[in-house]
Amino acid sequence: MWCSVAVRRLQRLSVSHLNLSPTQILQKKMSTLQRVYVTRQIPPDGLKILRESGQVQFELWDSDDVPIPRTELVQKVKGVDGLLCVLTEKIDAELLDAAGPNLKILSTMSVGFDHLNLEELKKRGIRVGYTPDVLTDAVAELTVALLLATSRKLIEATHEAKTGGWGTWRTLWLCGYELANSTVGIFGLGRIGVAIAERLAPFKVKRFIYTDVVPRPELASQINAEFVSTDELAKQSDFLAVCCALTPETKEICNKDLFSKMKNTSIFINTSRGGVVNQEDLYEALSTGQIAAAGLDVTVPEPLPTSHPLFTLKNCVILPHIASASYSTRNAMSSLAANNLLLGLRGEPMIKELHL
């Protein structure tokens, strides 16, 4: 008797499950998954990892051209367990309040984190993943390319060739500065600074010098670089590459005081963050001949308005923040950001976690 009752109950349960439509079954499954919002159409490798994980249900702002409007983002993050963002999104107290207490994991597809309010994240116990290291090679390559384009006046030369400025051969027309026998200074020696120096060494650079908050002998030994003060870095560098993070201490640290100590034949390159440079002071240094030229991949704001005075200068090359813009690097960044997010949601150590 008991067996027949049990069988009938099992049959009813089975029939009950079979009576669910495919949509209802999917909805039931989805209701058990953690909710994630992705603030940009990130490169496909990262999206594939999220899609095939079976761990999360995610929604995304389906555009790579236009950042998500702030009002839209505030609505979309409500109740999410995880958030995957890029550097165009300001993650502050207002947004975290809108997300609510479920949000425990934030993964940013960037090496920089000046768009994050770290104090608020720490206060709320939200873990943060980021994407350093995977973009080292791409940023170093672009820095060298920008340095060469600036020092050898390649953009100006291309313009002259296109617009009829190319006339008879002239002895000093479009002359620039060579890396051979030069002193290269690195402002903020990390992996990227080392990678830049490694790529410049074959150009017969005579000497590498650097400054940082403290000496970094292990990294410096890889490129035979000498630690100097900021003043000496400015005075001695023929080429000065800025590779430091943007912090309250480094905000506008490259200013009139620094430029006034540089040689009038010096080349200034910034591929770190626009905020480390006082752009008005840089314009003055370039327009008066205090320094020879500058190459920038980063500015404040981004994009830099086309009416900005820096765009009027022939000795200033400005790129639209493309240092990490290679297919392999951007896919590696999106994969790392996706894996950081999934690991964090499982309560496991992230591959790259920013320890607050």
Strands 34-38 and 56-60 come out as parallel
Residue 321 catalytic? yes
Instruction: From 310, 285, 290, select the one nearest 300 (Cα to Cα).
Output: 310
Instruction: From 91, 87, 122, select the one nearest 273 (Cα to Cα).
Output: 87
Taking the C-alpha atoms of residue 166 and residue 311, their distance in angstroms, rounded to an integer, is 22
How many residues make up the chain in this entry?
Answer: 356
Taking the C-alpha atoms of residue 331 and residue 74, their distance in angstroms, rounded to an integer, is 27
Tokens representing 157 are 């030369």
Taking the C-alpha atoms of residue 280 and residue 285, their distance in angstroms, rounded to an integer, is 9
Taking the C-alpha atoms of residue 315 and residue 317, their distance in angstroms, rounded to an integer, is 7
262 CA to centre of own chain: 28
Taking the C-alpha atoms of residue 141 and residue 67, their distance in angstroms, rounded to an integer, is 27
Q: Which one from 17, 308, 321, 355 is the annotated catalytic residue? A: 321
Q: Which residues are catalytic?
A: 321
